[in-house]
Amino acid sequence: MPELRKDPVIGRWVIISTERGKRPHDFRPTPEPQKSGFCPFCPGNEDKTPPEIFAIREPGTAPNTPGWTLRVVPNKYPALRVEGDLNRRGEGIYDVMNGVGAHEVIIETPHHDKKLADLDISQIHNILKVYRDRITDLRNDVRLKYVLVFKNQGFEAGASLQHSHSQLIATPILPKTVIEEMNGALNYYKYKERCIFCDIVREEIKDQVRLVYEEEHFIAIEPFAPRFPFETWILPKNHASHYEHSSDELLRHLAITLKLVLQKLEKALQNPPYNFIIHTSPMQDGPLQHYHWHVEIMPKLTRVAGFERGTGFYINSTSPEDAARYLKTIEIA
Amino acid sequence: MPELRKDPVIGRWVIISTERGKRPHDFRPTPEPQKSGFCPFCPGNEDKTPPEIFAIREPGTAPNTPGWTLRVVPNKYPALRVEGDLNRRGEGIYDVMNGVGAHEVIIETPHHDKKLADLDISQIHNILKVYRDRITDLRNDVRLKYVLVFKNQGFEAGASLQHSHSQLIATPILPKTVIEEMNGALNYYKYKERCIFCDIVREEIKDQVRLVYEEEHFIAIEPFAPRFPFETWILPKNHASHYEHSSDELLRHLAITLKLVLQKLEKALQNPPYNFIIHTSPMQDGPLQHYHWHVEIMPKLTRVAGFERGTGFYINSTSPEDAARYLKTIEIA
């Protein structure tokens, strides 16, 4: 019998329909299309991106030259631009405003062929600290309401360049899904006077059936109502509403957890394309009791079709309990 | 300068960012993977599907044998099943219910290689009438709150079988996106005392810039805030809240319009994968003043990535005005 499960935060229903189920090795990713040689993110091609906003580089090397291990640059084809006014206006019966915001690219490594999961923990730690520092910097622009940090790994997950990178987009309005998630968490808090994510952390540690990994500061779980097979969330055990308030030490633990989880997913699913997204509170808000930042990782193993688009329901052929059991057996050297 | 546009009904913001823009011929669909020979939807293989619910067949031919031109069968791997009780219950802090509903497949033609757009208008008319009649029948089951009729054309759009078919899924709760769309339309109605879709029809006929096609009873437009390049909507000109209240004559006009629009999209975009979805009112409701059924067609030319998932914003590199201008030039013999 298929089962309908409700995401406790956002209220999204998911159909867990294991009869159409696949085993992990049935999710064979489409081969990555081979792109031709030139890569604007490789050392030596620094002039092919807009000038860098930040870099970690060897002492004595000049900006926008080789010698870096991590580089942040504006997106060359930005979805939103820093310049200009919002200029909200009507157009006939419709509403429109200018695309003010920011769109930056974090080039995670100088090595063209290394994936995020292949990097040293110290380098992943650097990347996570840069996310934090860029959010903190962009918060100074009061036109900006939210920063989404995300990564598209692999062509099927939307990456247009192979060289490992993540992105951030700062938006001048609170995105719809962020509002929904914040409201869902707030409703729970009003009713229970507890953070729903803190309750999820406790429940999953107690239940164990969806727990993939636990360390001192983080857990990784398959969520109760996952949209996608092997959707995996990483949550800090202690309550914190804003990613950008994280200490270096906390982010070191996140680096350890993220690397391990990505390695498990890559081994279990043969290097799947994936998206990861940092879910955090609106940056102009102070600390919040009801929201708890976390990371959502979504392997791209299936194709979203008409039903999902038309309803917002997702059909998932792999239960999170099965996925967690499988991921736990994956040994990482 | 990128532009942010708001969908007037659902309140979804879309970034129209034509600088990263592609021309229509740049959207080259990935080749369809070639599937091996056996097709459960072809004549002669009727026993490979569950027994038919309805068929249009030559007089004298028996159910579940060849001789049909259109066939409706339960999905062999249903996302939701007709049997059983909903049995809403808690599971720890979570909510779950049984997957009660219906999941049917409309096999649109006995010809394996014909696409929907290739069929005669009379056959498309039959398909549209069958959608109506299946909704009307399922309405008798009061456990069911909504029927979504949709089509996934092509592998990239989620079709797992090549043989042309559409699907309907009846759900025991109102889907989230349906609630959002109904609420958006109701809010407009409360404020203006007019149907927002009637206003859109008037605005687009007056403006012409996003109008792709107009006939006696329908218009086809590129919507003001499209999520995807070449997203196309077909709306009846006269107000009607429920698809299933449509007369045979109205559906004949829809067949003409749908065929023409699909032919234009297929010619313009080299047979793109696409989804179409019938947006209609909850079937247990009586006629509504504030909602107006319509069809949304979404060519699958781009990949939804982390940003869209994390925000509900979409980034679209083709403005609807450019898309409409181009589609208008496409001549159909």
What are the angstrom distances between the C-alpha of A253 and each of A128, A217, A294, B165?
10, 7, 13, 50
Does domain A3-26+41-329 correspond to CATH entry 3.40.50.10420?
no
Residue A23 CA to chain centroid, in angstroms?
25
In a mutational test of the B interface, the residue from A94, A188, A280 whose CB has the highest number of chain B CBs within 10 Å is A94
pLDDT greater than 90 at residue B9: no
The string of pLDDT tens digits covering residues A251-309 is 999 999 999 999 999 999 999 999 999 999 999 999 999 999 999 999 998 888 888 88
Reported confidence tier of residue A23, pLDDT bands at 50, 70, 90? low
> Does residue B148 belong to the interface with chain A, where contact is any CB pair within 8 Å?
yes
| Alpha carbons A1 and B26: distance in angstroms, whole number | 44
Judged by CB atoms closer than 8 Å, whether chains meet at B306 and A276 is answered as yes
Reported confidence tier of residue B2, pLDDT bands at 50, 70, 90? confident
Within 8 A of A275 by CB-CB distance, chain B residues are 305-306, 309
What is the ipTM for the molecules in this complex?
0.89
pLDDT greater than 90 at residue A58: yes
Reported confidence tier of residue A20, pLDDT bands at 50, 70, 90? low
Mean pLDDT score, A215-223 = 97
Predicted model pTM: 0.93
Q: For A263, phi and psi rounded to 5 degrees?
A: -65, -40
| Alpha carbons A235 and A214: distance in angstroms, whole number | 10
Q: What percent of chain B has pLDDT over 70?
A: 95
pLDDT at A24: 65
pLDDT at B25: 63
pLDDT greater than 90 at residue A46: yes
Which residues in chain A (3-22) have CB-CB distances under 8 A to chain B? 3-6, 8, 11-13, 15-17, 19-20
> Does residue B169 belong to the interface with chain A, where contact is any CB pair within 8 Å?
yes
| Alpha carbons B323 and B318: distance in angstroms, whole number | 7
- Is residue A244 within 8 A of residue A250, CB to CB? The reply is no
**Closest C-alpha among A184, A82, A93 to residue A137:** A82
**Closest C-alpha among B22, B10, B75, B179 to residue A2:** B75
Mean pLDDT score, A125-142 = 97
The string of pLDDT tens digits covering residues B165-189 is 999 999 998 998 999 999 999 999 9
Neighbours of A210 (CB within 10 A): 23
Q: What percent of chain A has pLDDT over 90?
A: 75
CA distance B58 to chain A (A): 32
The string of pLDDT tens digits covering residues A163-208 is 999 999 999 989 989 999 999 999 999 999 999 999 999 999 999 9
Farthest-apart Cα atoms in chain B, separation: 65
Mean pLDDT score, A15-23 = 72
Reported confidence tier of residue B85, pLDDT bands at 50, 70, 90? confident
* Tokens representing residue B171 in the block: 């759900």
Residue keyed to tokens 């960012």? B17
Residue keyed to tokens 């293989």? B45
- Is residue B136 within 8 A of residue B280, CB to CB? The reply is no
Mean pLDDT score, B255-278 = 96
What are the angstrom distances between the C-alpha of B218 and each of A53, A160, B122, B198?
51, 38, 17, 12
Reported confidence tier of residue B284, pLDDT bands at 50, 70, 90? very high
pLDDT greater than 90 at residue B13: no
Q: List the single residue in B with minimal CA-CA distance to A85.
A: B1
pLDDT at B44: 96
pLDDT at A212: 98
pLDDT at B267: 94
> Does residue A58 belong to the interface with chain B, where contact is any CB pair within 8 Å?
no
Q: What percent of chain A has pLDDT over 70?
A: 95
Mean pLDDT score, A316-330 = 94
The string of pLDDT tens digits covering residues B18-55 is 776 566 666 766 667 666 689 999 999 999 999 999 99
pLDDT at A205: 97
Full strand arrangement of the beta sheet holding B232-236: B54-57, B68-74, B102-107, B165-171, B146-153, B274-279, B294-299, B232-236, B218-221, B211-214
pLDDT at B50: 96
CA distance B289 to chain A (A): 19
Within 8 A of A297 by CB-CB distance, chain B residues are none
Judged by CB atoms closer than 8 Å, whether chains meet at B176 and A2 is answered as no
Mean pLDDT score, A73-92 = 88
> CB-based burial of residue B10 (10 Å sphere; 0-12 exposed, 13-18 middle, 19+ buried)?
middle
pLDDT at B306: 87
pLDDT at A274: 96
Mean pLDDT score, B6-16 = 85
* Tokens representing residue B193 in the block: 């005392």
Within 8 A of B151 by CB-CB distance, chain A residues are 306
- Torsion angle of alpha carbons A165, A160, A49, B315, nearest 10°? -100
| Alpha carbons B172 and B85: distance in angstroms, whole number | 10
- Is residue A79 within 8 A of residue B17, CB to CB? The reply is yes
| Alpha carbons A318 and A17: distance in angstroms, whole number | 7
Within 8 A of A171 by CB-CB distance, chain B residues are 311, 313
Q: For A220, phi and psi rounded to 5 degrees?
A: -120, 130
Of A19, A80, A306, the CB nearest to B2: A80
pLDDT at A21: 58
Catalytic residue IDs of A? 165
Question: Which amino acid does the sequence have at B69?
Answer: T
> Does residue B175 belong to the interface with chain A, where contact is any CB pair within 8 Å?
yes
CA distance B45 to chain A (A): 20
**Closest C-alpha among A306, A329, A298 to residue A150:** A298
pLDDT at B21: 58
Which residues in chain A (234-273) have CB-CB distances under 8 A to chain B? none
| Alpha carbons B144 and B284: distance in angstroms, whole number | 8
| Alpha carbons B78 and A132: distance in angstroms, whole number | 44
Write down the CATH number for the domain with range B3-28+39-329: 3.30.428.10
pLDDT at A83: 84
